Chains A and B, each alone.
Chain A
Amino acid sequence: EPEVTQTPSHQVTQMGQEVILRCVPISNHLYFYWYRQILGQKVEFLVSFYNNEISEKSEIFDDQFSVERPDGSNFTLKIRSTKLEDSAMYFCASSSLRLDTEAFFGQGTRLTVV
């Protein structure tokens, strides 16, 4: 069964450092998303991406964040200068359509900022 894969599964970084979280969406999917989930809290939408550009972003997705689809397979989330409060599980998701369709989630990258 096709799946969304994320690497690394766990990343520890020093405050102020840049991190890049990587995702390989399902190959024929066109819509890509990043979410985060702080431990014990709800899943929060960060950004959606379609046709090589951002479609929607939340208030969380400020100038410290950027997304890129550098080639035909990878979808990355970059956090330019990490803060302690960026510590969370980051989920990538992809879907083939937008409305009324399942978004498949990757297993997540746990980011710990120290």
Chain B
Amino acid sequence: RKEVEQDPGPFNVPEGATVAFNCTYSNSASQSFFWYRQDCRKEPKLLMSVYSSGNEDGRFTAQLNRASQYISLLIRDSKLSDSATYLCVVSYTGGFKTIFGAGTRLFVKA
């Protein structure tokens, strides 16, 4: 089983749509969870950290279920500029080791 597994994608959605990404992780000792965004041929950039209580940042909502070892990202009212690859990221050993999922590609169409 892969350490961090994401929806394969790609997701093709119209502007204004709501889209949800899922991610599962296999290491129960995982301590920190993040969603990063990566544009084509660019470096990853943090979208948001993910907490057990769930957290929201504008149109983006992230959820963590430690019991199921599951992370989600919800994007509401999709914009053209949301088109990117979304990376689920898990870290452990006190944050020293970070594992990236393979990413889910999102295309938002006008």
- Interface residues of chain A, those whose CB is within 8 Å of chain B, are 31, 33, 35, 41-45, 48, 50, 55-56, 58, 89, 91, 97-103, 105-108
* Closest CB in chain A relative to B89 CB, distance in Å: 8
**Contacts A99-B31, A100-B49 given; does A107 touch B43 at CB 8 Å:** yes
* Closest CB in chain A relative to B110 CB, distance in Å: 26
Q: Which of B78-101 contact A (CB under 8 A)?
A: 87, 91, 93-101
Q: Could you say which of B34, B38, B97, B101 contacts A56, with CB atoms under 8 Å apart? A: B97
A13–B44 Cα distance when bound, in Å, is 25
In the complex, are the beta carbons of A99 and B91 less than 8 A apart?
yes
**Contacts A45-B99, A56-B97, A99-B31 given; does A105 touch B45 at CB 8 Å:** yes
**Contacts A56-B93, A98-B94 given; does A42 touch B42 at CB 8 Å:** no
Which of chain B's residues have a CB closer than 8 A to the CB of A97? 95
In the complex, are the beta carbons of B94 and A108 less than 8 A apart?
no
* Closest CB in chain A relative to B51 CB, distance in Å: 8
Q: Could you say which of B42, B99, B103 contacts A107, with CB atoms under 8 Å apart? A: B42
Which of chain B's residues have a CB closer than 8 A to the CB of A89? 41
Q: Could you say which of A44, A98, A101, A108 contacts B100, with CB atoms under 8 Å apart? A: A44
Query: Would you call B74 an interface residue if the criterion is a C-beta within 8 Å of the partner chain's C-beta atoms?
Result: no
Extra 17 A-B pairs, beta carbons < 8 Å, given A48-B96, A98-B95, A108-B43: A31-B96, A35-B98, A42-B102, A43-B44, A45-B99, A48-B97, A58-B97, A89-B41, A91-B44, A99-B94, A100-B32, A102-B46, A102-B49, A103-B98, A105-B43, A105-B44, A106-B43
